[in-house]
Structure 1
Amino acid sequence: MSETGSNDVSEPHEHLPAAGGGHGAETAVHRDPFGDPGHPEHEYRRQDIDEKAAKHSERVVAGLFTLSMIGTIAFIACFVIFPVGKYVYIFPFGHVSALNFSLGLTLAVALLGLGAGAVHWARTLMSDEEMADERHSAGADEELRATMEEQWKQGVQESGFGRRKLVRNTMLGALTLVPLSAVVILRDLGPLPEDKLRHTAWAKGKALINPNTNKPLRPEDIAVGSLTFANPEGLSEDDEDFQEQLAKAALMVVRIKPEDIKDKKELDWSHEGIVAFSKICTHVGCPVSLYEQQTHHVLCPCHQSTFDLSDGARVLFGPAGHRLPQLRISVNGEGNLVAMGDFEVPVGPAFWERG
């Protein structure tokens, strides 16, 4: 009880100055700390009410997309113009590869133009009006689907994608050109193989050279049951691509009794039981070298693929996908073993474009 005799019950409230600002004037305002404050009043952007400003933003977006296209074209041009070994001095980096620096710079411009254009378009031209929607269950009924479809169409219309052709066309141009950068980079992974995988250093008339003596092999040099290796005539260790050529042309030569050869084609391509097969395993390209004299089997030491040299080098065991290619051989007028051409099929493992 107060001195005046009235009941004074305290309630949670705040006393704020009255709007008039009079001395001692107070107003009780009750606030709910968990209430929904709602959205602030929507503020229209300049582009929403001024078509001239919207046109300016449209030109800016188109300019950024055009900058992206120029960056992509410059990327490809730099790839063609600058050699790999050219270095230039650029402060503060010092001497750097002209190719790497130009590719990085032009690709950055292409991606920056594309990203900045998309962001500027969204911030200045697309609708930014806030919309509140109540949570709903994950499963959508037909009415909701129809609503979402209608909202999608409305969003497309408000974005100006169909109406603002300059923005749309430059964006499509930038999106079309940017992937070309990846194509150029992938092209730089190495030289195109063309038909190099289908041909080796072997050719008609080339002698079989013993790699230990560097002299031509003769039939009498090869005993029954022995395994000998051979390189094509003219292949020298001083050649710049020696290892590359040897990786495809490496040959193993075995002498088998003609009556033990089961494959007729193998017999026709041999000379007095001397047969020549690629030394490169058809699984992953390991050198095949372990020969079993009694069975005429040759074993790859990497993954144990086993081939029967008396039956066209067909696969007996292991992960190899196909038989070892045979090289047709004969003897020239000097009595040396020579090739009658190249391998009939590509050597080594299969590749994606191999028929």
Structure 2
Amino acid sequence: MSDQNSHDHDHVPSTFEDEPVANPGLPAHTWRPTDVDAKAEKRAERQVAAMFGLSMVCAVLFLVSYFVFDVGDQWDTVGGLGASNVALGVFLGGALLFIGIGVIQWARKLMGDHEMVEYRHPAKSSDEDREATLAALSAGLEESGIGRRPLVRNSLLGAVGILGLPAIVMLRDLGPLPGDKLEHTLWRKGMRIVRDVVGTPIKVSDLEIGDLVNAEPEILFATDAEGEPVLEGVEVQIAKSKCAVIVHRMEPDDIVSEQTLNWSVDGIVAYSKICTHVGCPISLNERTTHHLLCPCHQSTFDLTDSGKVIFGPAGHALPQLPMAVDDEGYLIAQSDFTEPVGPSYWERDPQ
């Protein structure tokens, strides 16, 4: 005991003659049971490892609960709350809690335990201070015992490592992958292009040079053979979000792309209204340049040249809707978009 006490006080200056404070008044050091009893030390080490082990168990149970309990099922309840929410919350909280308890116990019972006196230093560190800092970090790593306590080290690494699995699983709740949902819309050959909200078809003569209107396909307002709406409720809103277009008229000579010219009518072009960056609705038009600007992140598209990106973070050109005119002079679609609408995603080919 006396040898250990003398060793402990080696960390405390034996004289304070050269220090700003003659004697900081440190009390006599009290040894912890784990400092003097090998059995207590091993017991504490097992306790810390057990906390990390319980954290791993909770993380696994989180994963099991994620797939076992269905969200929204009324019979899956615990105390009136959804079993899925309760299980996920309890087990994820437990995984984090047990890691915290284990680290606290490790610090209190197994890491180095001695008093230190540190005085303020100048703001600028000298090279000697930097070397001393690195030496202190090395000493702290040694005193933590992580190198000579493989049970604690490995159980901690396992608990922290497996805790990443719930985070990966929860990424699924960000929403389903687009798949082919953005590759097709309700636009079909011969469908009239109608004004948004009011639903009136658009004639070539209705538009003047520089006009830009929001539009959608007439099918959204049609009925089937029995007189029932083709789409209604939420389905209408979803369809609108994918079919929305802007219709713009310019001088035919302003069009520089052959494709844009072939898919236009007397200088009238139609493009998807959904920005290819993150999907914001766009309709800010520079009348003289025929540039379309997204208000969210300033992506800019050239309506005279196949909707190409000329500025901003958008990764793809705006999809153009091929147009024609029917027998009554109304604008119609030649076909659906020939490429996916909406924001870029990793399955989509680069521009």
- Aligned twin of 1:325: 319
TM-aligned CA distance change 1:289 to 1:230, over 3 Å: farther
For residues 184-241 of structure 1, the C-alpha deviation after alignment (integer angstroms, 9 at most, x for no partner) is 4444233333454x524156647346579x99989xx654637794417589332753
- Match in the other structure for 1:9: none
Listed one character per residue, the Cα deviations across residues 10-33 of structure 1 (whole Å, up to 9, x for unaligned) are xxxxxxxxxxxxxxxxxxxxxxxx
Question: What is the deviation of 1:161?
Answer: 0.4
Q: Conserved in 1, the CA contact under 8 Å of 2:195 and 2:201?
A: no
- 3-state DSSP class of the match of 1:326? coil
Could you tell me which residue of structure 2 aligns to residue 177 of structure 1? Answer: 162
Query: What residue ranges of structure 2 are gaps of 5+ in the alignment?
Result: 1-20, 222-229
Tell me if 1:285 matches 2:280.
yes
- In structure 1, give the amino acid aligned to 2:232: D
Aligned to 1:225: 207
Higher mean alpha-carbon deviation, 202-211 vs 298-307, is at 298-307
Match of 1:238 in 2: 232
Partner of 2:7: none
SS in 1 for 2:116: coil
How much has 1:74 moved relative to structure 2?
1.6
Matched, 1:50 2:37: yes
The number of equivalent residue pairs is 312
Question: In the alignment, does 2:109 pair up with 1:118?
Answer: no
Q: Which has the higher strand share?
A: 1
Q: Say if 2:187 and 2:333, in contact at 8 Å, map to a contact too.
A: no
Deviation at 1:120, TM superposition (A): 0.6
2:103 maps to a residue whose letter is A
Which amino acid is the alignment partner of residue 188 of structure 1?
D
Q: Deviation string for 1:130-154 (max 9, x for gaps)?
A: 2334554444444444444334333
Cα separation, 2, equivalents of 1:35 and 1:185: 58
Q: C-alpha displacement at 1:325, in angstroms?
A: 3.2
Tell me if the contact between 1:202 and 1:249 (Cα under 8 Å) persists in the aligned partners: yes
Counterparts of 1:138 and 1:73, CA distance in 2: 47
Residue 235 of structure 2 aligns to which amino acid in structure 1? D
1:161 paired residue number: 146
RMSD (CA atoms) = 4.8
| Partner amino acid, structure 2, of 1:40 | P
Is the 1:290–1:298 Cα contact (8 Å) retained in structure 2?
yes
Corresponding position of 1:342: 337
Instruction: Structure 1 unaligned segments of length 5 or more: list them.
Output: 1-33
SS across alignment from 1:276: strand
Q: How does 1:267-286 map to 2 (within 5 A)?
A: 267-270=261-264, 275-280=269-274, 285-286=280-281
What is the TM-score normalised by the length of structure 2? 0.67
Residue 83 of structure 2 is aligned to residue 98 of structure 1: yes
Paired residue for 1:201, among 168, 173, 185? 185
Per the TM alignment, residue 247 of structure 1 is displaced from its structure 2 partner at its CA by 1.1
Secondary structure of 1:241's aligned partner = helix
Structure 2 residue corresponding to 1:189, chosen from 174, 178, 182: 174
Q: How many Å apart are 1:68 and its aligned residue?
A: 0.9
SS at match of 2:271: strand
1:109 maps to 2:94: yes
Deviations 1:275-300 (Å, cap 9, x if unpaired)? Answer: 433344678733649998xx896988
Moved more, 185-194 or 227-236: 227-236
Task: Report the CA distance between 1:72 and its aligned residue.
Answer: 1.6
Q: Measure, in 1, the Cα distance between the counterparts of 2:253 and 2:22.
A: 100
Counterpart in the other structure of 1:77? 64
The structure having more radius of gyration, on CA atoms, is 1
SS at 1:188's partner residue? helix
Paired amino acid for 1:286: P
The question of whether the paired residues in 2 share the 8 Å contact of 1:224 and 1:254 is answered with: no
Question: Could you tell me how far 1:36 is from its partner in structure 2?
Answer: 4.1
